Structure 1
Amino acid sequence: MGLGETLRQQLAAKALKRQLERATDAIDAPGVPDAQAAQAAQTLSARSRFEAMPQYQQVKLMREMGETLRVESPFFRVHDGIAGATTQIGGREYVNFANYSYLGFAGDPVIASRAKAAIDRYGTSASASRIVAGERPVHRELERALAAFYETDDCVAFVSGHATNVTVIGALFGPGDLIVHDALAHNSIVQGAQLSGAKRLSFAHNDWQALDELLTRVRREYRHVLIAIEGLYSMDGDFPDLERFCEVKERHGAFLLVDEAHSLGVLGATGRGIREQCGVAPERVDLWMGTMSKTLAGCGGFIAGCQPLADMLRHLAPGFLYSVGLAPALAEASLAALEALIAQPERVARLRERGHQFLAEARAAGLNVGTSAGYAVVPVITGSSLKAAQWANALFEEGINVQPIFYPAVEEKAARLRFFICSTHEAEQISRTVGAVARLAGNS
């Protein structure tokens, strides 16, 4: 058991002890009617205060851990300007590994100029649901471009990547259906499955054989089945054997959703994602999901697929039907970024070089990078939350910004630093960073 886990349990025990002491004090109160009435009123009051909710107690416990361990929180640091391969925090420049602008488009002046022009033409907001009064030409231009990119009939854009998975899964599946997802699937997939009312099961990470065995046992018990996987897993930096997963979904008559939030613009020779990486025809995947906040320099999400799917989502998905339309400036920025991705495949090649460099040098230094394939996401597993926080803060002092991942986001023994690589990182920045982490590992 790691030190971080031990301290977490000790603090949890102390918190429970304090709660028990308060409960004991209440029980020992004089048993007279006035005291009982006061106690009842106090109990009701506690139930209507956020401070009494277990979620707040969890946040409070996290703060207590930081104070007890004397570790400054590495979260919510304020960036002064555009965050890319480098960033300004508190007036100081840092090499930045905490950002998703994989191809450097979020700070690109051409893309920014197109977004500014969209503001001049359409204003800062669509100001209505698209079905009511929020439709703008740029929305359909973006959707048509994404559909062409994925070689599908159509595409539907949503205002949030997280909400895309939640609302689409919930709109299409429900009681009597089954949703099976990778054990490391993103929270948005899990939340969508839970809220849909369908039966939810998971299978071992990237294990298509385990999925096949699971469906062999239970497929006949359900009407529709959705298999949900990711193109590139943002916590570990590895990717699935898409061909095998397509074979499983076809064998069992299921739908397949591939979340390309982190693989669009990253995997494949020209950045066309997991299908290009694995040589799989696009029509073999039923729902191509992606986000505009990573490679595409905007904000929001999308689903690309066949026409019946797009028609259903436009008219029935709550996250589209009842939500304001994507801000026109963000739609224009993502459209411009998509066009730049297609026109500049050299950015994808440079990103691949930098990611592979980080992975190779980290392995050579004896760092634990888990199962990362070296495409944009490389974790360095520290083995404890305490060590992850200490290393992140030590690197920050050296001018390197990287975020730690703590329990309960991952198991305590899997606590880590998570490095997001961009095409705009320089080779020297990669080497300097790996060297700094290696020194910390050697001294711990």
Structure 2
Amino acid sequence: MTIEGRQLVNFGWCDYLGLSNHPEVLSAARSAIDAFGSCISASRMISGSLDMHQQLEAELAEFFGFENSLMFVSGHAANVSTIATLVSKGDLVIHDEFVHNSAIVGARLSGAEIKTFKHNNLESLVRLLLRNRDSFRNVLIIIEGLYSTEGDCVDLSSLIEIKEKFGCWLMVDDAHGVGVLGESGRGVAEYTGVDARKIDVFMGTLSKSLASCGGFIAGNAELIEILKYSSPAFVYSVSLPPAMTAAALASLRILKSERERVQRLHDNCQLFFRDCRARGFDTGTSIGVGMVPIIVGSVKNTGKLLERMYEQGFNPSPIIYPGVRINAGRLRFFISSEHSVDELQSCAEALSR
């Protein structure tokens, strides 16, 4: 990438599979523009639904292991609108302390009571359920599949047992797990060996591994039918533009046909992860897949390291308070299947200078 005339190796984008410049993805987007124009200025409910939209939803559902799915023009809006549709006053939302802002906003708008459990700490979750489950009609537990600030995952199998024992719904925001986690990129369910259908509400994004924009919700047919007629971000929003729909569909098909991209991503991640740990850097609880955090501490020290990386030709993604705790500032390195071994090794070496 180029910043102020200087070329840098980019570690700041979530183009995990390198599909944003894939010839087939670009060709599909161009063809869609030629066929349908740059946008569809109507909601799906009125006259804005294309066969291509329905085809993408069907293929997303099939790939990730669900009965159906529904697309939204924004991943953030998909979370906000879905949560606010499914729960309301008299219900309870319990979420991991590190879930994405969109989940928190959706919970607040829903009118449900909200409680937070410690990150990936299932004992903390169980204590909350023991104290509160009987006082609420419905309980929705919200987690992420691959946490974008920590780079780690929950013990999903144990979490499924807990939600079934207490009669709760489970929503998984797997925005960073789509195309990244699991042998074939099917996300956190595949990575942890869990039947995806045990997840009640599955959220994925189209804007990272699938090289497009927007988000989707997948689940059983009843869930999707409810959202299709009740979720404001679907009912009252224009549909996903043709180029973005075609790009996502082409990307999904490449993901299915070129599984070596996922393996190459995993290999690159582990190379960089091992190199950083061998050099003594704090990677926290990261599993070393997709995003590798280098935890620095203070805002000042995070800024200094970021500046040094810029000077040496690398562009990581900084995150500081309130995105993380006050003294847990870090640089995040989003790894791609297309990074070269030399780029990865040179970046790890640059961190040490």
TM-score class, shorter: over 0.9
Letter in 2 for 1:396: Y
The 5 A counterparts of 1:34-433 are 87-433=1-347
Letter in 2 for 1:425: H
Which of the pair has the greater relative contact order for Cα pairs under 8 Å at 6+ separation? 2
Q: CA deviation at 1:358?
A: 1.2
Aligned partner of residue 142 in structure 2, secondary structure? strand
Is the radius of gyration larger for structure 1 or structure 2? Answer: 1
Q: How far, CA to CA, are the matches of 1:412 and 1:169 in structure 2?
A: 28
Aligned partner of residue 297 in structure 2, secondary structure? coil
Q: CA deviation at 1:431?
A: 1.0
Q: CA deviation at 1:89?
A: 2.7
Q: CA deviation at 1:288?
A: 0.9
Letter in 1 for 2:275: E
The runs of at least 4 consecutive aligned structure 1 residues that moved more than 4 Å come to none
The two structures, once aligned, show a CA RMSD in angstroms of: 0.9
Q: CA deviation at 1:92?
A: 3.0
Identical residues among aligned pairs (%) = 45
Q: How far, CA to CA, are the matches of 2:61 and 2:114 in structure 1?
A: 29
Q: CA deviation at 1:182?
A: 0.5
Q: How far, CA to CA, are the matches of 1:319 and 1:107 in structure 2?
A: 29
Q: CA deviation at 1:327?
A: 0.6
Aligned partner of residue 134 in structure 1, secondary structure? coil
More divergent stretch after superposition (87-96 vs 288-297): 87-96
Letter in 2 for 1:340: I
Q: How far, CA to CA, are the matches of 2:32 and 2:134 in structure 1?
A: 50
The C-alpha deviation readout for 1:221-273, integer Å capped at 9, x for no partner, is 00011011111000010011110111111001111111110001111111111
Q: How far, CA to CA, are the matches of 1:387 and 1:196 in structure 2?
A: 39
Q: CA deviation at 1:402?
A: 1.2
Q: CA deviation at 1:137?
A: 1.1
Which residue does 1:78 correspond to in 2?
none
TM-score scaled by structure 2?
0.98
Alignment length (residue pairs)? 353
Q: CA deviation at 1:117?
A: 0.3
Q: How far, CA to CA, are the matches of 1:91 and 1:336 in structure 2?
A: 32
Query: Can you give the 5+ residue segments of structure 1 that lack an aligned partner in the other structure?
Result: 1-86, 440-444
Q: CA deviation at 1:90?
A: 3.3
Aligned partner of residue 262 in structure 2, secondary structure? helix
Alpha carbons of structure 1 residues 195 and 116: separation in structure 2 relative to 1, 3 Å: same
Q: CA deviation at 1:428?
A: 1.2
Letter in 2 for 1:154: N
Q: Which has the higher helix share?
A: 1
